[in-house]
Amino acid sequence: MISSNIKICGISDKSTLLNLIELNIDFIGFIFYKNSPRNVDVNFLEQIPGINFKNSRPVCVFVNESRENILNITSFFKNPIIQFHGDESDEFCSSFELDFWKVVRIKNNLSLKTIDSYKSATAILLENYKEGIYGGTGQSFNWKLLKNMDISGRKIVLSGGINVKNVDNAIRMSPWCIDLNSGVESEKGIKDINLVTKIIKKIR
């Protein structure tokens, strides 16, 4: 079985970022959403241009953000991916001329049809639906729903409550990438490098 790519999301401090770069994490996510406990502050953002990401690629996460703010924030990064987590249209997402991932929140089989609305997306990130909440639920959706769709032709990023205990089930879904956030934290917003190391051994 080919191992999935790994994304660690919700990085908000330099020390953790440097550790993840040394672990050759494929994608490192930064959340720019004020309602998130993992929201990146200005001081950390201003340090980004001086950091060598080596083999890791930054992913900037936005929720219904203005075009102006997206352009400003992504300018701090070299070759970033934009992850759109809100109600953005395919036209809006593709207008930045950068690779982008679109999040689709999965509630039932009908939710999967939303994927077809984003033909321009580099990848589709699937996560649990919870009314009124854009991400960060810390819960998995019913992964069995993926058996009802052909994901071989799309780059699917599997997200939502993935941790050391259930990552084997995530791997069996054969996603292109596995997204880890709260499942590798010692407390909300604080990444535990020991947990990260344990889970990447299972994935790789």
Which residue type is seen at 66?
S
Per-residue pLDDT of the chain (204 residues; tens, 9 = 90+): 567 999 999 999 999 999 999 999 999 999 999 989 999 999 999 999 999 999 999 999 999 999 999 999 999 999 999 999 999 999 999 999 999 999 988 877 677 778 889 999 999 999 865 555 555 555 666 777 777 666 667 899 999 889 999 999 889 888 999 999 999 999 989 999 999 999 999 998
Name, in order, each residue with C-beta under 8 angstroms of 110's C-beta and a sequence gap of 6 or more: none
User: Can you give the pTM of this predicted structure?
Assistant: 0.92
Q: Which domains does the chain have, with CATH numbers?
A: 5-203 (3.20.20.70)
Q: In 12-66, where does DSSP find H-type helix? A: 14-22, 42-47
